[in-house]
Amino acid sequence: MLLIRLAIRNAFRHRLRSFLTILGVMVAILAFGLLRTVIDAWYAGVEASSANRLVTRSSVSLMFSLPMAYKDKIRAVPGVTLVCQGNWFGGIYIDEKNFFANFAYEPQTLLDLYPEYVLDDPAQRSDFLRDRKGCLVGAKLAKRFGWKVGDNITLRGTIFPGDWVMTVRAIYRGARSGTDESQLFFHWAYLDETMRVNYPSRAGQVGFYMVGINDPNKAAEISRAVDAQFANSLAETLTETEKAFQMSFVSMSEAIILAIRLVSFVVVLIILAVSANTMAMSARERTGEYAVLKTLGFSARTVALLIAGEALVISLTGAGLGLVLILPCAEAFGTLMTDFFPVFAVSRETIMYGVVAGLAVGILSGIYPAIYAARVRIAVALRKVG
């Protein structure tokens, strides 16, 4: 207990130096946590993917559509339980800066395939299913624009030209923290019927199929069976797990993600160097004190532990403050960057990494000063007094 009290008192003896070091550690751990959260946000779609869902799309590119006639053939494949046609709509609400993901889906199958989209009011579910011009929006998206159930909104089509008027019939929340609550879904029938009137050649075309399966262990087998049906056709398919589908988008930014990972560790290394320099300066300044402690009977091991304790007190104080600030800072950052990161939440792993980084900085920065204080001889140390 005496050593702990001495370590705490010595850690804050030079208040300005200690404050600046703690501030540096705090900022470093905060930056480290936010950068790790950015990486997690990039992989949010991958982590939220279900092992029971496959995606069937054109083998050439997502830009190419598939015939509606494929739906029944996919449904007939053994192991397939549900098939839902969908299209990326790409509509704009008022202005281009108001970006959010919007899709046309077959509504009943959508809700069956995605149980993580929770509708607390059963009446909203029935209203959404009944109204062909009704839409389902996430809670975060509704909050962003102040939408309420019953509001009429208009999306300006880009891929599908025209002004598309729809009514908010239901608002969903995520069953877990990683669920994207910033999307909008509307009836695929509304899209297809409008195309039949205005652009008949584009009617009956599907961007992709979401496929529900009964056994995740047979995902590869079912995927091959689906694609085999359309081999050598005019519209060959590529079927993969939802996770692999999401990873294909993440892989496009792999270089950026790697750079962010490296920067997050470089930040910790920099503050490690700063903290080590601070502790080395402190050890050199108090060389005479260590000699006196040894004269009074303190062993070299005890003196070394005292120095290491000082480094840990400073490092963990800064790390603790940084970790406390991560949650409010992440919430503020996530609000500003909602267009890019629909899901921006600090994970338990990030907090754990922050704690480990704080401990590592404290331990590593105290090793050399502790060894120096333990090895210095009393006679040599006393010569340096004054």
Locate the domains of the chain by residue range.
2-44+253-383, 60-235
Query: 167: which strand partners?
Result: 134, 152
355 Cβ contact list (under 8 Å, min separation 6):
319, 323
- 73-87, 239-253, 282-296, 345-359: least confident range: 282-296
pLDDT of residue 207: 94
Helix (H, G, I), strand (E, B) or coil at 164: strand
* Angle between the N-to-C axes of helices 287-295 and 300-336, in degrees from 0 to 180, rounded to the nearest 10: 130
Task: Give phi and psi for 105, each to the nearest 5.
Answer: -135, 160
- 17-21, 31-35, 325-329, 338-342: least confident range: 338-342
59 Cβ contact list (under 8 Å, min separation 6):
227, 236, 237, 238
- Whether residue 285 is predicted with pLDDT greater than 70 in this model: the reply is no
Contact indicator for 368, 281 with CB cutoff of 8 Å: no
User: In the structure, what pLDDT confidence band is assigned to residue 73 with cuts at 50, 70 and 90?
Assistant: very high
- Whether residue 368 is predicted with pLDDT greater than 80 in this model: the reply is no
Contact indicator for 78, 225 with CB cutoff of 8 Å: yes
141 CB neighbour count, 10 Å cutoff = 23
pLDDT of residue 361: 86
Both tokens of residue 98? 């108001």
User: In the structure, what pLDDT confidence band is assigned to residue 189 with cuts at 50, 70 and 90?
Assistant: very high
Indicate the pairing of strand 208-213 with strand 162-174: unpaired
pLDDT of residue 289: 67
If phi > 0 it is left, if psi is from -120 to 50 it is alpha, else beta; for residue 125 that is alpha
Report which of residues 8 and 89 the model is more confident about. 89
For residue 375, CA distances in Å to 4, 291, 297, 364, 370 come to 21, 10, 15, 18, 9
- Whether residue 358 is predicted with pLDDT greater than 80 in this model: the reply is yes
Query: Can you give the length of the chain in residues?
Result: 386
Report which of residues 52 and 46 the model is more confident about. 52
- Whether residue 77 is predicted with pLDDT greater than 90 in this model: the reply is yes
Most confident of 31-45, 128-142, 306-320, 350-364: 128-142
pLDDT in tens, 299-314: 777 777 777 788 888 8
341 Cβ contact list (under 8 Å, min separation 6):
38, 41, 42, 44, 334
What pTM does this model have? Answer: 0.77
SS3 content of the chain, % helix, strand, coil (to 5): 60, 15, 25
Amino acid at 230: F
Chain-wide mean pLDDT for the chain? 86
